[in-house]
């Protein structure tokens, strides 16, 4: 079974396999550079949120209501979403959740997490997905930290989605090291050029 991965801008991805889809960090309406997409064309069963910051939780509540998808996130983020009236599954680091086309395991990210109302968002996560025989790592907003070696040791990663914009996350140079530590077969850059403060020169990206 093939796995189709669409980058929707920033750290947002739509992953489809066997006619079912999931969304990760769907920051769409607030993103000046997001991809225009009609979510009604997809059967979205689950939304995954790496942490509570507005450029990750994004349109999660509205899209969960529109599609009926379940929101999977760290306990504090899941509680916040549940209070807004959507289906949720709260997890924490080390937890694993099943969804119709695969599984997702929660690891730590070296980052902070606060909700749009300023309340505590719990720990920031990075996510290992197993979908139709492929292993995909979404690193969230992490900086370079040694857990990436552990994750690389425990999983045979086909594709790592890594932030490269710097300032709030890893930059390109650190992402090169992360790629080695993760032993990822392929990497795809995210979390850059959305705002001026995370601009990355296209030439520099070739280093990855
Ligand atoms: Ni963040
Ligand atoms: Mn971010």
Separation of CA 97 and ligand 2 centre (Å): 23
Place of tokens 């902070």: 112
What are the distances in angstroms from CA 76 to CA 49, 69, 114, 123? 11, 18, 9, 9
Per-residue pLDDT, 204: 87
Per-residue pLDDT, 107: 98
Per-residue pLDDT, 36: 80
pTM of the predicted protein model: 0.97
Measured CA to CA, the distance from residue 136 to residue 75 in angstroms comes to 22
Separation of CA 1 and ligand 1 centre (Å): 33
Q: How far is CA 141 from the centre of its chain?
A: 8
Measured CA to CA, the distance from residue 75 to residue 52 in angstroms comes to 11
Separation of CA 58 and ligand 2 centre (Å): 10
Separation of CA 24 and ligand 1 centre (Å): 14
Q: SS3 for 121? A: coil
- Closest-approaching ligand to the CA atom of 53: 1
- Closest-approaching ligand to the CA atom of 25: 2
Separation of CA 141 and ligand 2 centre (Å): 5
Per-residue pLDDT, 147: 98
3-class SS shares of the chain: helix, strand, coil, % to 5: 25, 30, 45
pLDDT averaged over consecutive 10-residue blocks of the chain (208 residues)?
96 98 97 89 98 98 98 98 98 98 98 95 98 98 98 98 98 98 98 94 86
Q: How far is CA 6 from the centre of its chain?
A: 12
Measured CA to CA, the distance from residue 125 to residue 91 in angstroms comes to 10
- Closest-approaching ligand to the CA atom of 124: 1
Long-range contacts of 37-45 (CB under 8 A, 24+ apart): 37/6, 37/8, 39/63, 39/66, 39/67, 40/66, 40/67, 42/14, 42/16, 43/19, 44/14, 44/20, 44/69, 45/20, 45/21, 45/69, 45/70, 45/99, 45/100, 45/101
């Amino acid at each position: 079974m093939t796995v189709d991965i669409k980058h929707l801008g920033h750290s947002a991805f739509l992953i489809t396999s066997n006619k079912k889809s999931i969304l990760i960090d769907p920051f769409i309406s607030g993103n000046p550079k997001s991809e225009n997409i009609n979510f009604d064309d997809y059967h979205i069963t689950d939304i995954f949120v790496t942490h509570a910051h507005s450029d990750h939780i994004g349109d999660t509540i509205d899209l969960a209501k529109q599609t009926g998808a379940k929101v999977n996130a760290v306990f504090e983020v899941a509680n916040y979403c549940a209070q807004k009236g959507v289906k949720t599954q709260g997890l924490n680091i080390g937890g694993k959740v099943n969804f119709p086309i695969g599984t997702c395991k929660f690891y730590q990210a070296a980052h902070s997490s606060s909700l749009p109302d300023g309340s505590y968002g719990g720990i920031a996560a990075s996510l290992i997905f197993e979908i139709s025989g492929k292993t995909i790592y979404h690193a969230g907003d992490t900086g370079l930290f040694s857990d990436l070696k552990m994750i690389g040791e425990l999983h045979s990663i086909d594709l790592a989605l890594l932030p490269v914009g710097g300032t709030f996350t890893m930059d390109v140079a650190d992402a090169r090291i992360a790629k080695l530590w993760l032993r990822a077969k392929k990497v795809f850059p995210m979390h850059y050029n959305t705002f001026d403060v995370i601009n990355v020169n296209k030439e520099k990206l070739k280093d990855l």
